[in-house]
Structure formats: C-alpha cells, structure tokens
Structure 1
Amino acid sequence: MVFPPIQFSGPCKGPVEIKAIGATIKAPPELARFKSDEWILFERIDRLTMIGGTFDGQGHEAWKNPKCGDNDNCHLPVNLRFSLVKNSLLKDVTSLNSKLFHMSLHGCDNTNLDHITAVAPAVSDNTDGVHIKHVNRLNITNSNIKTGDDCVSIGDGSKNVHLEKLTCGPGHGISIGSLGKYANEKPVQGIWVKNFTITGTSNGVRIKTWPNSPPGTATDIHFDDIIMNNVGNPILIDQEYCASRNCKKAGAPLKVKISNVSFKKIRGTSATKVALKIACSQGIPCDNIEVSDINLTYKGAKEGGAAIFECSNVKPKVIGKNIPLVCSGAPHHI
C-alpha cells in the first residue's frame, strides 16, 4: 500500500491508539510528492499508542540526490515525525529506507519507544535512526538500528533521556550533537546510554560541538556497559566538529561547556588506532570526565601497535584497569 504524505494534528487528548500489526505501508518514491519535511506527522497528541507496522520510505532515489537539502524546492522527508507528543508509546514499529531520518521527535515529553527497528543501507546519507531535540523523559529500549548515519542523534534541549539494550550498526554510532551550531540552543542534561552493542560504525559514542560556537552546556551524560565490534573512534569528545569545508577552526572560540560525563565498562575492538579521544575546548575545558574499566584493542590493518588514548584540555578521572593506557596528566584512582 502506497500512502501519501499525511498529518495527524491536534490538539488531541487521548487515548489515541493506532495498530498496524502485520501491515507494510510505503511512501511515494518521488520527491516531488512531498511539500513538507515529513511523510507521516503526529502533532500535539496526548496519550498516543502506536503498535506494529512497517513503514517503508522508499528512499533509494532520494539518496542519489545529496544536494537536495540545499534547494528550498526539494524536500527530504522524515519517515515518522512526532512533534509535541506526550505520555505516549511506540512499540514494535519498523522503519525502512527512509529518505531522511527514520524517526524524529521534537518537543515530546514522557515518551517510550520499545522494540523499534530502523534499517537502511550504510550508503544512505542522513538517515539517522532516531533524531531527538527539545525532549524530556524519553526512553528507547530493546531496539535495533542499522542505517547510514547516527543510530541515535541527540540535539539541544534534550534532558532525562534513557537509551538501553540497543544494537547499532552500520551507521555513525550514538551522537550527542552536534551542539553549538545555532544561537540560543538549550542545554543538554541527563543522558544515559547503557547496555549497547555497536558494530562496524564509523564512530561509537561521541559528543560533538562546533568551533566558533555560541555559549551552551552539555552535562550529566553517562555511557555504561557497551560492547564495540570493529568500531571507529569508539569513545570521542570532539569540540572541533565540522561537517563542511567552510568551518574556521583555527583560533575559533569553543563555548559549549561539557561536564559530568562518564565512560564505564566499554570494551571490544577499535577500527582506529585512537580508541579514546577527548578533545575539549581550550577556553572552556571539560570538567569531571570519568573513564572507568575500559578495554579496547586496536584491530586495524593500516597501523601497527596498540590502541591509544588522546586528550587535550581535560584531566579525566581514571578508575580501575584501562586499556589503552590513560593520556598523560590524567589522575588515576584505584
């Protein structure tokens, strides 16, 4: 069944229940059919329950048009967008071959995603599994994401977010950010990423901020009990993130403050020699960064030797036994 773009817009006080168990619903493949940035929109709904269904974005043609985003007349739609939805549950929902993000949540409160599947080829640009922004009290559990970009991307204004028991890969891993690209971004606070398996991604778990950024904060962020299988950059804080060639990194002030971050019980194999990199702002160094019981070995073929840990503008607190050895200047705590 091919389903045209549609909006389910409130305000609506539920309960509202949508069951699509066993159904496969397909988006129009032609970009000309889309006049907005989503295929299916749920907006301003309280107590939405959505169970089952496979939503196929048929994005193969869209992936061939990487410059679409630079054209105001060309819209790359998100498969499923949830805006200002609260007290809601998504369960056993599958998103395939999205033209842009598989799922996007903006301004949502008290939302649970359980047994979610998102799948697109590794070559599909910008197909984040779940992209969130300005959310509070979000749980994503027992889910499987294989896509061409971040498995989960966490934007500004996100707080009290719990991600647990997910598999991720291929893709770009779990990303907080990028932060600091725009003025007046809201703080990121209270993010827990736990019990993950990440396989074959270009990054593992990372926090990324733009150079020359407006002021901002990211705090109380915790990564715990994560298995890395042949992952590039398994642990990364990058305060000089730049997604284009137009960034002016040299001497640019970095004003996003990162603090109270922990990396615990992260183990497995790194596809890059630098398995841990914590590169913080020179003007506003990171505070209270904890590294505990890390065991990452380098399995790449291009460079010899063991994995290494690089850091700048930070003195991480190191606890337990860690492989690779800690960067210079880091205090060690038994």
Structure 2
Amino acid sequence: MKLFLLLPFICCYSIADAQCRSGVSSGTFNVLHYGARANGFSDDSKVFMAAWKAACAASGNVKLHIPRGKYLVGPVKFDGPCRNVHSITVYMQGYLKASTDLSKYVEGDDWIQFGHVDKLTLTGGGTFDGQGAVSWPFNKCPRKKNCRVLPTSIKFLATADTVVRRVKSLNSKFFHVAVVGCKRFHGSNIRIHAPSNSPNTDGIHIERSSDVTICNSVIATGDDCISIGQGNVHVRISRITCGPGHGISVGSLGRYRDEGDVRGLVVRDSTISGTTNGIRIKTWQNSPGSSSATNMTFKNISMKGVANPIIIDQMYCPYVLCPSQAPSRVKISDIFFRDIRGTSATPVAVTLKCSRGAPCRNVNLHNVHLRYTGGAAATAECWNVKARYSGIQMPAPCH
C-alpha cells in the first residue's frame, strides 16, 4: 500500500498505529490518519480494521471517524468487546463500497459486522453501497431451500444499547441490515434502496432480539421492507414509508426446529405503497418444531395499491415444488389489525389463511377500509380462524 509515500513524516499514522496508540484515552480515530486512500478502488479494509482496533483498545468515549470520500472495503468485522470504552461512535460521512468478488467472503461472512459491542452509535449521513447487482444472479435462494446465502450489508450481532441514525444502504447483496441477538436497538432516519426485482434484499431483518425500535425511515427494496424473524420480544416499528417490496412481515416462522417465540410487536403510523404484501404473518407449512407468535398490533397504516394488504399465510412455501402439505405448528394468537385503510391491487384485500393443525386464536379487525382498485368490491378469505370484527369493515367479514 506504500503508506510512507502518503505520510512520510508521521510514524503513528499508518496501519501500525493500532499498536502504537493502544490504550489511548478517549478521542477520535480517523481512518485517513491510518492511511485510507479514499479513492474508491484501493482496498481500505486493513486500514479500517487498524483504526477500529485502536478505538476499541482506548478508554472512555471514543469516535471512529470515516470522513467524506469513497472507500472500497470488506468484508470487515468491527468486533468487541471494547472493555474500557464507555461508548463508541462510528461517525461515517463517507461512501463505502463493498467488494464484488464473492471469493473474499467466507461462507457465512457478511460485509460490515458490528459484533459484541455495547453503547455503539452509527451515524453521520454516510452510504453503504453493497454493489449487489453483480451478485444477484448467483442467488439461488428464491428457488432452492438449501442454498448459499450471500452477504448481508450491515450486521449487528449481540450488541446492546445500539443507536443507528442517518445512514443509507444501497443495493445489498442479500439483506441490507440484520439485527441478530441484540438488546435495546434503536434505528431512525435510515434510507434503504434496491430495485424491486433484487432477490432477498430485505431492508431490515430482526432476529432473536429484544427491545428494538425502528422509526422514521424510508425503505424501497426487492423483498420485505422489514422482516421480524424468530425469537423477538418487544419490537416497535413506526412512521415507515415502505415500497416497493414485499411489505412488513412477521416471519417466515417455523422453518427450523427449536425456534424462539415472537411476542410484543407493534407496527403503526406507516405507509405501504405498491408492494406485493402489506402487513403479513407467514409461517412454513410442515414446520419441524412448535413455536408461537402472539400479542401483535398493526395500527394506523395506509395502503396504496398493495396486492395483499392484510395477510396471514400459514401455508407459506415460496418454491415451485413443496413436498409436504402438513399443517404449520406455529401458534398465532392475540393479533390486532386497527385502522387499516387504502387500496388493494387485487380483489382479495384481506386473507386469513390459518393452519388447520393450529388454528389462529383471537384475531381482531377494527376499522378496516380497503377498496379494490379494479372497481369491484374488495373481498376477504378465511381458513381455520374465527376473527372478531368491529367498526368499519370493507371488505365484508368472512366466516
């Protein structure tokens, strides 16, 4: 990398700076001072890791600064624990570009990972560009159950008290953001974009996490805007603009044995436009284990030309051939749809397709007003559920 040509007089402003500044008290660690080229084509991964290592070894309140410029990086793991750090802020103003060479990603690796770090803040208005278009043709997951999963752009793994605000994610190879095994995660003013035909580019995926808040964000992608996977407790989603994509989904659940329950979800005050689904709960048929999804509220949501505005699908299987029709064993109960309005792009605006092996319990619809854009009256379809209705009901309730 010939850093001595760039910074000939400053011995500590090199990759070795991670060692010579180890143990430094609170301060700012600028990736440019570690030799980052910021030209968009030289690999700055080692420089980023050196700056992170120094920041993580410091004490007090520290900042990792990524100034404006284009940086080719990845995969990189910003892992802790940072034992003497009280809080760490990654202030990212730059434009990060992911390597398009899939051989650099060991199977299971993601692009940018923040792992086992407490009191982390990611902010600054910068952009994560996954450069996923080159990789999307290699994604076989929409057609094969057993497939190689491409890298997620930004993964938070086993973090606590995390704040993410004012960042952008473009064209991820797989998920844009994954929140896995985290406690007290708050995300706001996040902008996510990928084309509508990009496969498995979920905007934000949440799994095995508790006390998660996502708000004031705009998500346009090729899959779920937000997906709430297994093992989540107390997730709050509000003021989301979603579309295109597959809507806001719980699941899919029940694919694996010993999945955790999902409980305490609130989705409210949001707009969903031009998506294939609106608010959806989906569980696999023939689920190998038994779990539950309970205590969920979807409130004050506007639908604009959504194909399936309200849908529970316990016969989910996205493949052409699904060998078993055994009923889902995921138990769905205490579900509330309140003040859902707008337009459906298909005649069936409400679908409650529950499992014959574990029928849905206590499903409630209050003030649902959905018109079919085709002109005829919208309809509803129900299986294995006795829903409760109150207030306005358009389409008419099904029994």
TM-score by length of 1: 0.93
1:33 to 93, 104, 108: 104
- Cα distance in structure 2, aligned partners of 1:47 and 1:178: 30
Aligned-residue offset at 1:59: 0.6
Question: 1:235 is matched by which residue type in structure 2?
Answer: I
- Cα distance in structure 1, aligned partners of 2:364 and 2:352: 11
- Cα distance in structure 1, aligned partners of 2:130 and 2:112: 10
**Structure 2 unaligned residues grouped into runs of 5+:** 1-70
Cα RMSD, aligned residues only: 1.7
Q: Report whether the alignment pairs 1:51 with 2:111.
A: no
Q: Report whether the alignment pairs 1:290 with 2:369.
A: no
- Cα distance in structure 2, aligned partners of 1:104 and 1:73: 19
- Cα distance in structure 2, aligned partners of 1:153 and 1:75: 16
How do residues 1-334 of structure 1 correspond to structure 2 at under 5 angstroms? 1-13=71-83, 14-21=86-93, 23-35=94-106, 36-52=108-124, 53-67=126-140, 76-213=150-287, 214-250=289-325, 252-300=326-374, 305-328=376-399
**Structure 1 unaligned residues grouped into runs of 5+:** 329-334
Aligned-residue offset at 1:246: 3.6
Aligned length: 323
RCO (CA 8 Å, sep 6+): is it higher in 1 or 2?
1
Aligned-residue offset at 1:247: 2.1
CA deviation profile, 1:185-228 (whole Å, cap 9, x unmatched): 00000000001100000000000011111211000011000000
CA deviation profile, 1:261-320 (whole Å, cap 9, x unmatched): 0101111110111100101111221111000101101114xxx62110111111111010
- Cα distance in structure 2, aligned partners of 1:323 and 1:37: 46
Contact 1:211 1:247 in 2 (8 A): no
Q: 1:71 to 1:313 in 2, by over 3 A?
A: closer
Aligned-residue offset at 1:87: 0.7
Q: 1:94 to 1:248 in 2, by over 3 A?
A: same
- Cα distance in structure 2, aligned partners of 1:119 and 1:57: 11
CA deviation profile, 1:226-284 (whole Å, cap 9, x unmatched): 0000001100001100012342453x132111000010111111011110010111122
Contact 1:96 1:119 in 2 (8 A): yes
Secondary structure in structure 1 of the residue aligned to 2:73: coil
Question: 1:2 is matched by which residue type in structure 2?
Answer: L
Question: 2:88 is matched by which residue type in structure 1?
Answer: V
Secondary structure in structure 1 of the residue aligned to 2:346: coil
Question: 1:285 is matched by which residue type in structure 2?
Answer: P
CA deviation profile, 1:75-113 (whole Å, cap 9, x unmatched): 611110000011110010110010000000100000100
- Cα distance in structure 2, aligned partners of 1:244 and 1:71: 8
CA deviation profile, 1:141-196 (whole Å, cap 9, x unmatched): 10000000000011110110000000000000011011111100000000000011
Contact 1:211 1:248 in 2 (8 A): no
Question: 1:54 is matched by which residue type in structure 2?
Answer: T
Contact 2:75 2:109 in 1 (8 A): no
TM-score by length of 2: 0.78
Secondary structure in structure 2 of the residue aligned to 1:325: coil
Answer with 1 or 2: which has the greater Rg: 2
Secondary structure in structure 2 of the residue aligned to 1:32: helix
CA deviation profile, 1:41-64 (whole Å, cap 9, x unmatched): 000011001112100001111112
Question: 1:171 is matched by which residue type in structure 2?
Answer: G
Aligned-residue offset at 1:67: 2.5
